[in-house]
Structure 1
Amino acid sequence: MNVLQYVNPLQGTASTFRFSNGNTLPLVARPFGMAAWSPQTDEAGKGWFFHPSHRHFEGIRLTHQPSPWIEDYGHLTILPQTGPLIVSAAKRSSSFRSEDMSIKPDYFRVKLRRYNTLLELSPTERCASMRMTFEAIQEARVLVAPFAGESSITIDPGRRRLTGYTRANSGGVPENFAMYYVIDFDCDLDVQASGTWDQDGKASIHLHEVGNRTSAFIGLNIPESGEVNLRIGTSFISLEQAITNLTQEIGSKSFDLVRAEATQAWEETLNRIQVEDQDEDKISTFYTCLYRVCLFPRMWHEFTAQGEKVHYSPYNGQIVKGPMYCDNGFWDTYRTSYPLFSLLFPSRLGEILESYVNAYKEGGWMPKWSSPGERSAMPGTLIDAVFADAFVKGIEGYDVQSAYEGLLKHASQAAEDAHFGRKGVRAYQAFGYLPADQFHESVSNTLDYVYGDFCIAQLARSLGKDEEYTLLMDRARNYAKLLDPSVGFMRGKRADGSWDEPFDPIEWGGAYCEGGAWQCSWAVQHDIVGLAESMGGKDVFLARMHELLSTAPLFKVGSYGLEIHEMSEMASINFGQFAISNQPSFHIPYLFAAVGSPAGTQYWVRKTAKELFSSAPDGLPGDEDNGSLCAWYIFACMGMYPLCPGVPEYVIGSPMFERMTLHLEKGKQIVIEAACNAPNNCYVRSVQVNNESHQPLFFTHDQLIDGAFIQFDMSDIPQVKHVEDKNLPYSMSVR
């Protein structure tokens, strides 16, 4: 099935610093590939270096940027040029017509009007094949421009080759970090028209230079056909390894063959899920979201000439055996991306987890936000949930004992370097929460620690660590320490036990991360029933959920001091205080089902997916964040959601396609059919699994991974009936 035709990499790219429609890049890459490529239209925009409304092209950019807030590393741009040599990004740029630029996961093409040149690119995992077709063959050259940082350039006319490295980065790297690259040309180089330029734009006819942002211009003796092919290899290990990568992945392959292989790689990956429906816009949104899920985390390991898997460690600067994956924020991705991997790519997930164990062994701490090393962004240590979820689902391929050791370390020990581990771990152990008068974002961090402890406990139980299991499960109840019954929200508490004053549920910041009390009081995925009982019972809890979704989307900027983009995005839609634009709200629609009211879940999940997602440049309701938001949409379409990673269950939602088939690794299938599905038929009348009636409001992972035939009967009328506790999704207080 040809599904690549439905993917639009421009999804979410119509974003700015102040308002996110995804904050994505139109990446041309292999699935989970180390090297990604994107058009650059505005270098001055820093993390926002591309926008679909721009009509000037500054170069095709080798990028490793996972988020505009994290920015790039090991990056450079490549541009064909004719006429006078002009090197600054803004001045060298060429206009293009929108219809002259094509961006697909496997292929990029743009016609540069200023230079009358066609540029094409197709990626491999660590390399790329590039084809340039010049209409004017005189005064033709290629510009290679790294970014700020030490850069080395060597032009070798005899070998028709350029080699170099760049140390450009935005943090999270050892001192010896470099991205090495080699570019082979299939035409002779014009030595007299080749050279370098420095950070000030001063050009010189030198074939070798080292300096800050040293860049290269390579004169070309173009054949009469006007066609020049470039083969580009990259490595974080060495120049020799970049050449090895180029030999292994491209060698003598033609551009068209590289493109055909890239197409096949994406078709095989995306066809893990096949959907059937009359609505092609919905199909396009689905496969575009699945493409985004399969970009991160990024492979960082490479293969020696002997086939050995090795990597440069962004944690200790050494060359180490084994896998490595980078560019992931676990605060975002634990909720949706990794649970989806457990179904679609369990073998790769095992390799990813082994790489995180390697990160622990190399750096001494489990990663929290890697790009490529530790960036220490966002609350908590939610890699806890990534490992727990994989462990309870039987994912193999990693050192479980070492994983547990690393997780327990940050749950029990303070790091000397605040970039690592949990901040305030001693205070958390002493109080059972982080005091708001001592720690920023105290509520968000505390709730993430509490849930993280629950997750680590799942490994402790199976590994026979009984004392540690008991301690961690006791701490998993600490969320109650921050629940103020008088206001019905989680609230900052001081070291003396008094509540932080004043309190306003629409004020953001302070004790909360990227939200306020309305958004951040529900991060108790492991005990929603217990939370409801603490608030006065399920009826009170449901009333609060309805209030959340009907309260005007008002906010106060609070400690942020300005309107951050998440506030703007929530205020731009009529979904109450439900800020689907940010991860703490992802599970909110599923809380209805968690306490036995599935119709509320079905209505709000369907409404959110239908109204707020598309494949368009403005097609996402907030930061996409390494696949996490798009994976939310994939689960919404499936009619299920991993409410509590660390528990092998998926709460039932509202399926969106007439038929969906998931092709599992071991040859089994999950087939999901939705009879009587229609735009207004969001409610589930009944469910059958393998032709038997299914009463629980969840599916187990074992039910799915062994292959399942799931039949939903849909209706436009909500079903109201009593749900026994045994049929509710997992809550620690119930089972």
Structure 2
Amino acid sequence: MKRSLYVIMLLWIIWFSISCDNQMRKQDPEMQKPQPVDLVYPLLDAANSRWFFFNSASRPFGMVNLSPDTQKEGTWGSGYRYDTDTVQGFSHIHAWQLSGVEVMPVAFEDGESASIFKDHSSKFDHAKEEIQPGYHMLMLERYGIKTELTSTIRVGFHRYTFVDKKEAGVLFNLEGQLGPSKIIKGDLKQFGTREIQGSLVNAPTRRRPKEFQIYFHVQFNQDIDRLLKPSDQQLNKVIVTFKDISDEPLLMKVGLSYISSDQAAKNLDAELAHWNFDQIVAESHSQWNDMLSRIKIEGGDEKEQRRFYTDLWHALQGRRIISDADGHYPDYTGKERQIKRIPLDDHGKPKFNHYNSDAFWGAQWTLNTLWHLVYPEISEEFVNSLLLYYKDGGLIPRGPSGGNYTNVMTGASSTPFIVSAYQKGIREYDVDLAYEGIKKNHMPGGMMGRSGYEHLSAMGGGLEHYIKKGYVPYPLPEGDFGYHQDGASLTLEYAYQDWTLAQLAKALGKEEDYTYFLKRSENYKNQYNPESGWMRPKDIDGRWKVPFDPFQYEHGFNESNGAQSSWFVPHDQPGLALLMGGKAIAAERLNSLFEKASELNFTAGTSHDRELHPEFTRIPVNYGNQPSIQTAFIFNHLDHPYLTQLWSRQVAEKAFGGLSPHTGYNGDEDQGLMGSLAVLFKIGLFQMNGGTEEDPVYEIGSPLFDKVTLHLNPDYYPGERFTILARNNDSHKPYIQSASLNGKTLSTYYFRHSEIINGGELLLDMGEEPNQHWGLLGGKD
């Protein structure tokens, strides 16, 4: 009785708050404007979707990412592909190398269930579909069912309205290929009159080397009639049926856990104790709006504003929580799975969440800047999660999946992320342990020694050669161990990451390490070939690759060509320019590459797999993938800031300006990386070295909007807000004429982290013609 009264009182308070908020909106014209969450366009690039890319019924970083799947075995695992008009099912997990708990509401006459077990798909029409952050609705034409989806962090919430009162139920598909994983060992059983529990396993993949167990606990708002199974025992599917579908919709709550079915039930009870579907939609809407409202934009047209908040929305997606509400999590880093628990705070709550994540490859130019500045609490959680893997498995990962290492991509990409967090004062973790783990990754046996998805050794990264010879040879004489064994790119990547580690060593007073890794960071020079004027692969005996074509894709360069990767020296642009003959020559050369790339809108096609197409593979600057996304800001370091302003504005408008299902991120958004980059370009801020030096530098580009207000987290930064004003700004006026910071003239192209976090205002006067003198005084280089 007490619990019932409590729930009734809680619902009344929520209803009263919503009513008051609605009344205020009617009275306040400012509040009647579209909120950031209302501007999000979830269908962006959905025609080129990868398994973890599309989002609808999900929360920021939620374990549950519930959405329809139109392709379950297509390119990159697919998932929701806009141009496919058939729903194969609704699955709850769309994560890096993880999938699971596929369901499908069905309705049928006697005798029709056999055909449903063989094929339960249904056509649908986009005209009868509604998608917004935290909610997805569509009509299943085959069954006449209105399907609505929403979620909490760990619970999927479904509402099914049946048009025809046939026998109805929910099909659970417990087997078969689902995105990146083959689902095996599925099981389901009934508890009481309205509950079921079950589990399934994600079989190993080339990228995730171990099986991974998923558990679920399901509650319905109506009594179960029976569990219907197919006569064909080769089909592991179950239809949970309901004999008399009432006039009220069928509601279903699906709690997830990677620990046990009982833990899934606990997650469900902790996050969704009631049956108010609309309330959860409203709460999800509000949570997203709060996150997106950290950045307020003014100016630009509606399309530009919608694209901006869609970019920001994607920056908070993809990397998924794997720990339960009470802090339990699965550790697969050893020989056998272990169940462990995150440390609890004084209130008995987990101090942070544990995460599944794609690589931090390219995060130095994306997540490092956006998360650390605008969402520092998220950055701190991720650092703690990375260190938890180190405690459990002995290495800081560069992209974990299923509680274990995948060794996705190359190098030690977590190093700049952690170093940048430390340099910006985000330090609620064991700093000494972090340094220990980072340093281990930069030495033989660590992450640098492993090529992409190399699980059984640490040879494919060529680290020993890098240390001994000063470069990674191509081809690697030891042979093939994994993916991405392209020596020239590895040399450049290791040199930069060594520099970032040196900065942390310096900050912690470790002078010997600082000197050692700073010296190693100069190894990029050994990869430069003066004769060709490009970074160029060379073999174990020091012979340069012959024949050599700087526009040939890969063959020594990871997911790039030599023209793109030759500029990958984030820590020493003046040194690179000196190799190329000086700043003026380097600037002229890079500018010509941008002029060529602009003809293809700075991307290698509209989907990731098209990078291998002859028409796109030779592009000299590619903003559809990570290796060359810093290049527009290199001009700042070559005494040509006005070219940074020109090209960064054009990239923002052309590469990140579309708003349709068929364009967006070239099909390679990589869990927030490219969304973050687009946001940074449009607000006019960037960090060339990933913000890893002492009191990190923010470089100035060309803001797309007239006014940008960054609301700072007061738990981390003392300033309330930082504002960027661009006066006289429009698409024909990308050039900065003059600037001031907090009322004082600013003659440099940058300012410091200590200045932005104390709040204030950056004022930029824009114009049609470049001011070739602005930004040159007191340049950091």
Please give the TM-score of this superposition, normalised by the length of structure 2: 0.85
Q: Is the Cα–Cα contact under 8 Å of residues 216 and 255 in structure 2 kept in the other structure?
A: yes
Note the C-alpha offset of 1:602: 0.8
Match of 1:731 in 2: none
Q: Is the Cα–Cα contact under 8 Å of residues 569 and 581 in structure 1 kept in the other structure?
A: no
Deviations 1:109-162 (A, max 9, x none): 111122111111111001121111112222211111134343343332633112
Match of 1:348 in 2: 378
- Taking a change above 3 Å as real, the CA distance of residues 99 and 455 of structure 1, as seen in their structure-2 partners, is same
Note the C-alpha offset of 1:653: 0.3
One of 105, 108, 123 as aligned partner of 1:79: 105
Paired residues for 1:128-207 under 5 Å: 128-147=156-175, 148-156=182-190, 158-171=192-205, 177-191=212-226, 194-197=227-230, 202-203=231-232
- Taking a change above 3 Å as real, the CA distance of residues 157 and 85 of structure 1, as seen in their structure-2 partners, is farther
Q: Is the Cα–Cα contact under 8 Å of residues 74 and 169 in structure 1 kept in the other structure?
A: no
One of 659, 675, 688 as aligned partner of 1:615: 659
CA separation in 2, counterparts of 1:553 and 1:345? 33
Deviations 1:625-651 (A, max 9, x none): 111111111001111112111131121
Q: Which amino acid aligns with 2:132?
A: K
Paired residues for 1:625-704 under 5 Å: 625-645=670-690, 646-647=692-693, 648-666=696-714, 668-704=720-756
Q: Is the Cα–Cα contact under 8 Å of residues 101 and 111 in structure 1 kept in the other structure?
A: yes
One of 492, 503, 510 as aligned partner of 1:447: 492
Q: Is the Cα–Cα contact under 8 Å of residues 23 and 624 in structure 1 kept in the other structure?
A: no
CA separation in 2, counterparts of 1:90 and 1:692? 71
CA separation in 2, counterparts of 1:494 and 1:709? 52
Note the C-alpha offset of 1:89: 8.3
Note the C-alpha offset of 1:173: 5.5
Asked whether 1:379 is paired with 2:399, we answer no
Report the 3-state secondary structure (helix = DSSP H, G, I; strand = E; otherwise coil) of the residue aligned with 1:329. Answer: coil
CA separation in 1, counterparts of 2:614 and 2:753? 34
CA separation in 1, counterparts of 2:597 and 2:378? 43
CA separation in 2, counterparts of 1:218 and 1:685? 67
CA separation in 2, counterparts of 1:245 and 1:640? 39
Deviations 1:528-570 (A, max 9, x none): 0111012111011112102222347999xxxxxxx95224497
Asked whether 1:36 is paired with 2:80, we answer no
Note the C-alpha offset of 1:688: 1.2
Q: Which runs of 5+ in 2 are unaligned?
A: 1-30, 176-181, 343-352, 478-484, 601-607
Asked whether 1:290 is paired with 2:323, we answer no
CA separation in 1, counterparts of 2:432 and 2:136? 44
Deviations 1:222-243 (A, max 9, x none): 4431411101100011111100
Q: Is the Cα–Cα contact under 8 Å of residues 149 and 158 in structure 2 kept in the other structure?
A: yes
Which range moves more in the overlay, 320-329 or 248-257? 320-329
Q: Is the Cα–Cα contact under 8 Å of residues 295 and 709 in structure 2 kept in the other structure?
A: yes
Deviations 1:237-281 (A, max 9, x none): 111110000001101241111111111111111111111125010
Asked whether 1:300 is paired with 2:322, we answer yes
Match of 2:136 in 1: 108
- Taking a change above 3 Å as real, the CA distance of residues 8 and 175 of structure 1, as seen in their structure-2 partners, is same
Which range moves more in the overlay, 281-290 or 504-513? 504-513
CA separation in 1, counterparts of 2:435 and 2:702? 36
Asked whether 1:218 is paired with 2:240, we answer yes
- CA root-mean-square deviation: 2.5
Match of 1:249 in 2: 271
CA separation in 1, counterparts of 2:424 and 2:390? 22
- Taking a change above 3 Å as real, the CA distance of residues 52 and 296 of structure 1, as seen in their structure-2 partners, is closer
Match of 1:97 in 2: 125
Match of 2:48 in 1: 15
Identity of aligned residues (%): 29
Q: Which amino acid aligns with 2:105?
A: L
Q: Is the Cα–Cα contact under 8 Å of residues 95 and 356 in structure 2 kept in the other structure?
A: no
CA separation in 1, counterparts of 2:124 and 2:183? 30
Asked whether 1:321 is paired with 2:345, we answer no
Report the 3-state secondary structure (helix = DSSP H, G, I; strand = E; otherwise coil) of the residue aligned with 2:268. Answer: helix
- Taking a change above 3 Å as real, the CA distance of residues 362 and 74 of structure 1, as seen in their structure-2 partners, is farther
Q: Which amino acid aligns with 2:712?
A: L
- Taking a change above 3 Å as real, the CA distance of residues 53 and 174 of structure 1, as seen in their structure-2 partners, is closer
Note the C-alpha offset of 1:96: 1.6
- Taking a change above 3 Å as real, the CA distance of residues 707 and 238 of structure 1, as seen in their structure-2 partners, is same
Report the 3-state secondary structure (helix = DSSP H, G, I; strand = E; otherwise coil) of the residue aligned with 1:727. Answer: coil
CA separation in 1, counterparts of 2:594 and 2:52? 25
Note the C-alpha offset of 1:656: 0.6
- Taking a change above 3 Å as real, the CA distance of residues 249 and 674 of structure 1, as seen in their structure-2 partners, is same
Match of 1:240 in 2: 262
CA separation in 2, counterparts of 1:376 and 1:642? 26
Paired residues for 1:374-413 under 5 Å: 374-413=405-444
Match of 1:465 in 2: 510
Paired residues for 1:266-277 under 5 Å: 266-277=288-299
Q: Is the Cα–Cα contact under 8 Å of residues 58 and 90 in structure 1 kept in the other structure?
A: no
Q: Is the Cα–Cα contact under 8 Å of residues 187 and 221 in structure 1 kept in the other structure?
A: no
Q: Is the Cα–Cα contact under 8 Å of residues 37 and 61 in structure 1 kept in the other structure?
A: yes
Which range moves more in the overlay, 147-156 or 626-635? 147-156
Match of 1:430 in 2: 468
Report the 3-state secondary structure (helix = DSSP H, G, I; strand = E; otherwise coil) of the residue aligned with 2:328. Answer: strand
Asked whether 1:707 is paired with 2:759, we answer yes
Q: Which amino acid aligns with 2:219?
A: D
Q: Which runs of 5+ in 1 are unaligned?
A: 205-211, 556-562, 729-733
Aligned length: 695
Bigger relative contact order, structure 1 or 2 (CA pairs below 8 A, ≥6 apart): 1
Paired residues for 1:549-628 under 5 Å: 549-551=594-596, 564-568=609-613, 571=616, 577-613=620-656, 614-622=658-666, 623-628=668-673
CA separation in 1, counterparts of 2:443 and 2:211? 32
Report the 3-state secondary structure (helix = DSSP H, G, I; strand = E; otherwise coil) of the residue aligned with 1:412. Answer: coil
Which range moves more in the overlay, 358-367 or 145-154? 145-154
Note the C-alpha offset of 1:621: 4.1
Q: Is the Cα–Cα contact under 8 Å of residues 26 and 103 in structure 1 kept in the other structure?
A: no
Q: Is the Cα–Cα contact under 8 Å of residues 590 and 653 in structure 1 kept in the other structure?
A: yes
Please give the TM-score of this superposition, normalised by the length of structure 1: 0.90
Report the 3-state secondary structure (helix = DSSP H, G, I; strand = E; otherwise coil) of the residue aligned with 1:687. Answer: strand
Paired residues for 1:436-585 under 5 Å: 436-438=474-476, 440-551=485-596, 564-568=609-613, 571=616, 577-585=620-628
